[in-house]
Structure 1
């Protein structure tokens, strides 16, 4: 096509490096979602107060995370904080940036889910002698995660794709590994076709796994 000659043998030689990059991508995505979820739950509870320092902090976090580019957030953590003397490795900087971004979006998803849970359930749980923490742990959060399950999975996929920004700070996740491999062989088209297929496969596996898990947890 257009006189272009494909050389797939070079891609197969570098395929183990791409697979290792994909593993880094998956681990980074999962860790950032775990941290982002924990932070988002805290932000959601702080937003429930509707006033005070905690509310202001949570609102600011969410607004910044949702209304600035993810690329900007990566730059600020890796280069911006570095200029202030806070130096992070590429991996840690990307983990912090993804977690920050995930927390902002997930907090809004959780807030919407919380509004779908009748307030009477809070009062009923407290009237039974269940503590405030116990009410959230045993009554609110189980319902919340069922309500927000699929938006949560969408954010997981978004985090997977956003992890590709690690390339700009030297991280050898899938995109970084692909960029490094093609720079040695100059076979850009072949390498990025394979990388795109790996991303597509990971995304579809997450989607399929999420549907199966939902069926097993809530429908089975």
Structure 2
């Protein structure tokens, strides 16, 4: 017998708290993308290198990040390192776990973009007297970002959704953590998590829309 009584007015009182949690969620996602993106570029270059000493470590990172659960990676950052006397906060563990995961996926995205750039681009830059690093930075990297831009936004959305795993290591300041904390005090489970789902949906849609507008502005020609 269905006897649940919805109390949306009570749940709506906590919207400001959920908004604060959403900001923390967005902060973690953005930082994890910046860290993961920087590492991903290094891994992509390593994966395409001729030297096995550069290729093998990069391949190991990518394989581990892409073929193990993100929850496992977050657990290892929080509980695994604790076994060796290295204790980090739930926030840092979540950020580190998501950044590690992002780096693996972004490395493959960037590697695909690098392969899509004709080698003649680098040769032309070298013929103009550019050193290899300068040619890579000024010629290859801008084209790589252009090719990988929209796929990278999908990883951004994935990072936003992955922040919900922070509750498993005790994080209580992100959107899911705040929702769980309020639910423990009010027992309005359906209403609160429905509102949290709306927040996640809106954040993801805003990110995708913003990315498409930015791509249209930057890559019109």
TM range (shorter): over 0.9
Corresponding residue for residue 85 of structure 1 = 85
SS at match of 1:3: coil
**2: distance between equivalents of 1:101 and 1:197?**
25
Quote the residue 1:160 is aligned against: 160
What is the CA-CA distance between 1:54 and the residue it aligns to? 2.1
Instruction: Quote how far apart the aligned CAs of 1:15 are.
Output: 1.9
Residue number in structure 2 paired with 1:181: 182
Give unpaired runs (5+ residues) of structure 2.
none
Query: 2:109 matched to which residue of 1?
Result: 109
Provide the aligned length of Structure 1 versus Structure 2: 220
Q: Which secondary structure state, in structure 2, belongs to the residue aligned with residue 56 of structure 1?
A: helix
Moved over 4 A (4+): none
CA distance in 2 between counterparts of 1:211 and 1:95 reads: 26
Q: Which digits, 9 at most, give the CA deviation of each residue in 1:43-86, with x for residues without a partner?
A: 11111213332211100000000000000000011000111111
RMSD of equivalent CA atoms:
1.3
CA distance in 2, matches of 1:15, 1:170: 21
Greater shift after overlay, 64-73 or 123-132?
123-132
Distance in 1, matches of 2:220 and 2:3, equals 53
1:59 matches 2:49: no
Distance 2:126 2:46 in 1: 19
Tell me the secondary structure at the aligned position of residue 126 of structure 1. helix
| Residue range with higher mean Cα deviation, 90-99 or 58-67 | 90-99
TM-score, normalization by structure 2: 0.96
